[in-house]
Amino acid sequence: MDRREVSTARRHYSRSCIDCPEPSEGLEQTMDLKLIRDQSIQAAKRLGVDVSASLPLLDTGLEMRSADKAITRILVMNAVAATAYGFDKAKAIAWLNQEDLTDSLSEKERCFIFESTGHPDRFKVQVEGMWALAWAMGIANELDFAKDCDSRFVMMLPNLKQNQSSADFRKKANPRAQERVVATCDLAYCLHWAIRQSELAGKRPPGNLRPYVVIERRRALDWSLSKEAWDEVPLDT
User: What is the number of residues in the chain?
Assistant: 237
CB 210 within 8 A of CB 173: no
Q: How far apart are CA 89 and CA 106, in angstroms?
A: 16
pLDDT at residue 155 above 50? yes
Q: How far apart are CA 133 and CA 213, in angstroms?
A: 13
Please tell me the least confidently modeled range out of 12-16, 52-56, 62-66, 72-76: 12-16
Q: How far apart are CA 219 and CA 63, in angstroms?
A: 15
**Each residue of 159-178: pLDDT tens digit?**
999 999 999 999 999 999 99
pLDDT at residue 199 above 90? yes
9 pLDDT band, cuts 50/70/90, is: low
CB 190 within 8 A of CB 106: no
21 pLDDT band, cuts 50/70/90, is: low
**Each residue of 204-222: pLDDT tens digit?**
999 989 999 999 999 999 9
Closest CA to 8 of 210, 222, 169, 152: 210
User: How many other CB atoms are found less than 10 A from the CB of residue 172?
Assistant: 13
Q: How far apart are CA 226 and CA 28, in angstroms?
A: 19
Taking the model in full, what pTM does it have?
0.88
**Each residue of 102-149: pLDDT tens digit?**
999 999 999 999 999 999 999 999 999 999 999 999 999 999 999 999
> What phi, psi does 181 have (nearest 5°)?
-70, -40
End-to-end CA distance of the chain: 18
Output the pLDDT for position 31. Answer: 85
pLDDT at residue 58 above 90? yes
The whole-number average pLDDT for the span 22-40 is 72
15 pLDDT band, cuts 50/70/90, is: very low
Q: Which DSSP letter does residue 201 get?
A: T
Distance of CA 237 to the CA centre of its chain: 17
**Each residue of 70-111: pLDDT tens digit?**
999 999 999 999 999 999 999 999 999 999 999 999 999 999
Closest CA to 135 of 101, 84, 172, 165: 172
Output the pLDDT for position 87. Answer: 98
